[in-house]
Amino acid sequence: MRRILLGTFVAIILILLSSASIMKEEHRAFASHKLEDMAKRLPLRDIPSVDTIMEVPEFIKGKAIVFNLNNNKVVHMGLSMFSRETKEMIGTDICNFLERYFLELLLLRDKTSIIRKLTEDHIELLLNGQKFGAENFSSLQEVMQNICMPVNFSLFHKDQHAEAVWMSVGMHLQMKFPLYRELIDGMDKKESDEGVYNLLRVAVCDSIYDADDDVSYENLVHKTGNVYVYKGETFMIKSLTSDRYYMEENGKYHLIFTPMYPEYSMNNLFLSYQNGAGKTLLVTHRQYGYFTPEFTIPLNNFLACFKNDFLVACHTGYNKQNELETIVVFKHKILNYIHLLRVHVNKEELFINSPVLKADFYSNIPQHYISSLLK
pLDDT at 71: 75
Whether residue 340 contacts residue 361, with contact meaning beta carbons closer than 8 Å, is answered with yes
Predicted TM-score (pTM) of the model is 0.82
CA distance 375 to 201: 29
Confidence tier at 210 by pLDDT (50, 70, 90): low
pLDDT at 212: 66
64-96 pLDDT, tens per residue?
A: 999 999 877 899 999 999 998 999 888 888 999
Residues 6+ apart with CB under 8 A from 215: 230, 246, 253
| Residue 252: strand pairing partners | 249
Rg, the chain, Cα only: 25
All structural domains of the chain with their residue ranges:
28-182, 189-366
- In a 10 Å sphere around its CB, with 0-12 CB exposed, 13-18 middle and 19+ buried, how is residue 345 labelled? buried
Confidence tier at 162 by pLDDT (50, 70, 90): very high
Cα–Cα–Cα angle for 286, 290, 291, rounded to 5 degrees:
70
Is 90 exceeded by the pLDDT of residue 149? Answer: no
332-350 pLDDT, tens per residue?
A: 988 889 999 999 999 999 9
The pLDDT of 231-250, averaged and rounded, is 90
94-117 pLDDT, tens per residue?
A: 999 999 999 999 999 799 999 999
| Residue 50: strand pairing partners | none
Q: CB 313: neighbour CB atoms within 10 A?
A: 24
- Measure CA 141 to chain center: 29
Residue 202: CA count within 13 A, CB half-sphere: 12
pLDDT at 302: 97
Name which residue leads in pLDDT, 206 or 11. Answer: 206
Whether residue 81 contacts residue 97, with contact meaning beta carbons closer than 8 Å, is answered with no
Is 60 exceeded by the pLDDT of residue 57? Answer: yes
- Calculate the average pLDDT of the chain: 88
Percent residues over pLDDT 90 in the chain: 66
- Measure CA 72 to chain center: 17
